[in-house]
A and B are shown apart, each in its own frame.
Chain A
């Protein structure tokens, strides 16, 4: 028996494009890739990035990929190893949303995102850890234990898509799906030193995503760099008749696979034509509210350095103001829990999911099943959400939050209309915290969401890319946030790609643990 490499085979390839070329050229086999990735995932179990692995299911997909490749068929992702956040429902693998409530739940259907990536040929390694029902920013709210940050196992990987970011950072998969309700793709990507994008609300179908805050939830990929994000986002996005909030067109362009790639290619071509100053004319809005006293100096420095890199590429920095930024925390923590309190009502122990062992009448069965099935953060948000929707409080909280939401969106609209093409700033005020650090004060995590919530409330596309390291202890990754105008995913990815062409933060890898 030959010794297995420490890292899975796909880590020898810098990009999905390179791996795809190898697969198509017969220089790599999907089955071998999948086997090595499965072994690596199992070997890295201390990260607790995966919740459900089923080698049979994965290997069957890999064999099918090889058959297609052998016939010269297949899609843009055929044979590429990925994995899904455990809030996307899947046939085969369990879907638990990292909750005891759904500990044994298997969906009879696949989420649209899962289905589309499968159609493109991607091979799934299984389901990734996250905060319970995607509520949290450290992956500590998982009923199945926290996922760990590959850069420091005592640090959180961020959340809620913590398992996704950790798996990509550790090289266990080429890319992973995540969901972002208030920063759950961007923040873990930042804390794990990988790239992630949350597209414009409505461009990716929510069908088959376990709902948290329906008006905010949006799926997005996490990968090493912008080009790999494009490889996932382009086939993921598109109108879906099963989601009434999915958009049929984006500013007159059909919402369909190919849209993001065309915009990316077009933006890149214009950059290339500009020669030595590829980003000549690009106006980068830097919101003063994103550089307040709570921002750690390490992060401020790394972001400043990134902005200087952008200036060296020809971009111009513009000071802007998003005056309602500080209101995004209260607005978000009213709207998201309000929607969650209703979305999570279906988990009552009647049809599926956890049911209490002993109970009195039917109402008691529901109460006990919910009290036992949900973790403390989920219960907290259900209580908050129930409260703000109550008769007599609705106007003061929910309606008021919706008004603030419009004001926040107006801030961004004004900035893009009058001042800039893209907005940049930090993703988080600090680098990854230590596991358990905020356990006594649950709202401390909420305050740390200040830079990501506004974008979610406005429904804008935004991403995080690695831009440095910092922190008091072991150096931990820092992310740069890029915020685009509506439907600007392709252009945003091209702006990120230009940065990644001249920097190597995204190529840094954590030491093998």
Chain B
């Protein structure tokens, strides 16, 4: 039987506010335990939460970026459950009425374009952490400690519709979402520190069946690789289970990266009754049209708008435009380079940024902001291709030299010093063509016998003689002219 995998993601993004969502304690990562927890974070008697407007503004930015509805009135609720690192023993979270409603995300999976609708995005507070390892109590006994530095850190939980059909789609969605929140500056995107983590809801059904299968939720996936692996494993597990005559049980599972498998954490039957109710300490959150306008005015150009513009104004393909707008720094780099090239040559800049530059950055694990080849320098190199000074192939060598910092990273200086200037003198090329034809009569014979490959071989011989510097178009033209002339004689 052919199976279809159905995936929905819930993504917790830590918002980039200086202070916590309901207190003025710092959100900085890595401070000594409990040094960033005040009376509110510790839930001391008499303390009350006060909403951080900066967190709301980041949620509004996200909502605008995905074309969602920003609720004029949303409500904070209490999610009640006992856990030692949850100081109030309830989490303040938007439940029935979230601040961001709907919206969608567009992205490429390979060269296929895909749109995934969002259900909602809501504000909530993070919990603290239990310290189990290497922790000793007051009498030296092994014990569990609580660090409340993270308690009250603002989170935006972004919930997608179950519209993804493969692990690859889920990863592409997550990458695009990650790129977007980093682009907006509302999240630092640091996955190691837990600033961006996904829960995946996975189910399977026979292809063509309208009804969803029973889903399992895999918690806390904090890398794209784990996300992909966990979904693949989980889908396979469910399919095998059903094919063996079993049934999937609705439950929460954890992914074990070391063993590359998911394990049951708790079933739906033992799940808590969270007893949600509106938090009486916090009035409903009112977001006025005026506030939305002010937030909008302070936002960068959105990836979707930029993508549109790259396609319409700069003539890029949808794919290239999408790739370049995955990362604001990439898009900025590209724009700066393209701006220095003649009209209509942006495509060339896109190829270079996504090709050679991107490969070099990956190889050196460098960020584009740190690229040794700056946009103006790259544009200068590309200009030499456009004006015929060097071929595309030679340009790659020049780029490598620029990357290494030769001659101050200047394309012109490198071309000059290495004598890489393309030979465009037809006299010189003709002489080389004649010599090659004279030296390889057998290949010429093959060409005459109708073998197209023989022509390419002759081109190669000429380029070899020119040490790659001959203008390829000219070589082609002259070779063809000579062979055809000989043929007539």
Contact = CB atoms under 8 A, between A and B. Distances in A.
Whether A associates with B in a native complex is yes
A382 to B, nearest CB: 11
A109 B275 contact: no
Contacts of A39: none
B280 A346 contact: no
B48 A111 contact: no
Interface string B4-16: 0000000000000
Contacts of A245: 280-283
Interface residues of A, number: 43
A191 interface: no
A243 interface: yes
A155 interface: no
A342 B45 contact: no
Contact of B39 (A105, A108, A206, A338): A108
A339 interface: yes
B443 interface: no
Interface string A341-379: 110011010111000000000110010000000000000
Majority secondary structure of chain A interface residues (helix, strand, loop or mixed): loop
Contacts of A89: 44-46
A348 B87 CA distance: 9
A214 B88 contact: no
A346 B43 contact: yes
Contacts, number: 98
Interface stretch (A159-167, A385-393, A435-443, A496-504): A385-393
B146 interface: yes
Given A95-B45, A210-B45, A244-B281, A386 B50 contact: no
A95 B46 CA distance: 10
B195 interface: no
Given A244-B281, A362-B144, A391-B275, A346 B89 contact: yes
Nearest to B80: A342
Interface string B252-279: 0000000000000000000001011100
A242 B50 contact: yes
Contacts of B282: 244-245
B277 A389 contact: yes
Contact of B88 (A107, A207, A241, A345): A345
A226 B311 CA distance: 75
B460 interface: no
A243 B48 contact: yes
Chain B: interface secondary structure? loop
A209 B46 contact: yes
Given A207-B48, A244-B51, A245-B283, A338 B82 contact: no
Nearest to A214: B280
B45 A339 contact: no
A303 interface: no
B151 to A, nearest CB: 11
Contacts of B99: none
Interface string B266-302: 0000000101110011110000000000000000000
A462 interface: no
A107 B38 CA distance: 12
A487 interface: no
A215 B280 contact: yes
B414 interface: no
A285 interface: no
Nearest to B273: A391
A208 interface: yes
B277 A346 contact: no
B84 interface: yes
B90 interface: yes
Nearest to A335: B280
Given A95-B45, A207-B46, A244-B51, A342 B87 contact: no
A214 B282 CA distance: 10
Most chain A CB within 10 A, of B44, B87, B89, is at B44
Contact of A107 (B44, B78, B275, B281): B44
A465 interface: no
Given A89-B45, A95-B45, A389-B275, A348 B50 contact: no
B42 interface: yes
Nearest to B49: A244
Given A342-B277, A345-B89, A390-B273, A102 B45 contact: yes
Contact of A394 (B48, B277, B281): B277
Contacts of A95: 45-46
A295 B44 CA distance: 41
A350 B143 CA distance: 13
B45 A350 contact: no
A398 interface: yes
Contacts of B46: 88-89, 95, 107, 109, 111, 207-211
Interface string A77-113: 0000000000011000001010000100101110100
B333 to A, nearest CB: 44
A269 B261 CA distance: 80
B82 A105 contact: no
B43 A389 contact: no
B48 A346 contact: no
A11 B49 CA distance: 41
Which are the 9 A-B pairs with shortest beta-carbon distances? A345-B89, A389-B275, A214-B280, A215-B280, A208-B46, A89-B46, A346-B43, A210-B45, A391-B273
Interface of A: 88-89, 95, 97, 102, 105, 107-109, 111, 206-211, 213-215, 241-245, 338-339, 341-342, 345-346, 348, 350-352, 362-363, 366, 386, 389-391, 394, 398
Interface of B: 39, 42-51, 78, 80, 82, 84, 87-90, 144, 146, 273, 275-277, 280-283
8 contacts: A108-B44, A245-B280, A345-B89, A351-B43, A352-B44, A362-B84, A363-B82, A391-B275
